[in-house]
A = this chain, B = another copy of it.
Amino acid sequence: MSTASLTMEFPKVGLAARKKDRTRRQLAEAAAELFYEKGYTATTVDEIVAAVDVSPRTFFRYFPTKEDLVVALGETSLDQFLDALRNRPFEESLQVAVTAATAESWAAEWVDTTKVRSFLALLRETPALRARWLEEAYRKRDLMAEVIAARTGTCPSDLRNLMIAGAITLTINTALQAWADQDAEPNAAPFVYRGLEELATPLLPD
């Protein structure tokens, strides 16, 4: 057993696993291309699998639903943001840490402005996808609440932590949408920063 884990040094995972990853990626990429080209609903699963040459049944083994495929296209961004937030020094205030984490996850490779715009456009024009994406963000909220709780030494299920996490998610989504609605500013970050600044003031002052 202990030797087994040592034998597979170079190929951290076996040939099968690599093949699996590749198929998954191929499906996602082929789907993205088709979605951006002719829209989400107009693209059928049959078309996607034809592009990768696998059976329709196989598709649903990789992605439980067609929507999950779209989530997979964008979820990396959320994860990277959370990772960045986790790694910010504890001395920083939440405000600073969140802003910095935003900048970091923005600098990461995945953020190709063109792709992000296409992705946001896809969400915008497909209510079902927007819903699914919100749900995904909603689920990640609990994770974010944990990270925040760890920083402030409070309880993760504290209503305030849930609200802070929700507000951050809300801010990012709202700011990104506002950014996508305009063409002047090519970089999304300023929009997010402005949103985060709002969170430094009471949203409903007495």
Interface positions of A (Cβ within 8 A of B): 93-95, 98, 127, 130-132, 134-135, 138, 159-160, 162-164, 166-168, 170-171, 174-175, 178, 191, 194-196, 198-206
Contact = CB atoms under 8 A, between A and B. Distances in A.
A166 B174 contact: yes
A191 to B, nearest CB: 8
Given A138-B134, A162-B174, A174-B162, A200 B204 contact: yes
Given A202-B200, A203-B167, A159 B174 contact: yes
A133 to B, nearest CB: 8
Nearest to A168: B204
A186 to B, nearest CB: 18
A159 B198 contact: yes
Contacts of A138: 130-131, 134
A194 B158 CA distance: 11
A16 to B, nearest CB: 30
Contact of A178 (B98, B159, B174, B194): B159
A8 B22 CA distance: 67
A160 B170 CA distance: 12
A206 B191 CA distance: 18
Given A130-B138, A134-B134, A93 B205 contact: yes
Contacts of A166: 170, 174
A163 B159 contact: no
Given A130-B135, A130-B138, A163 B198 contact: yes
Contact of A170 (B93, B167, B195, B201): B167
Nearest to A98: B204
A194 B159 CA distance: 9
Contacts of A159: 174-175, 178, 191, 194-195, 198
A95 B203 CA distance: 9
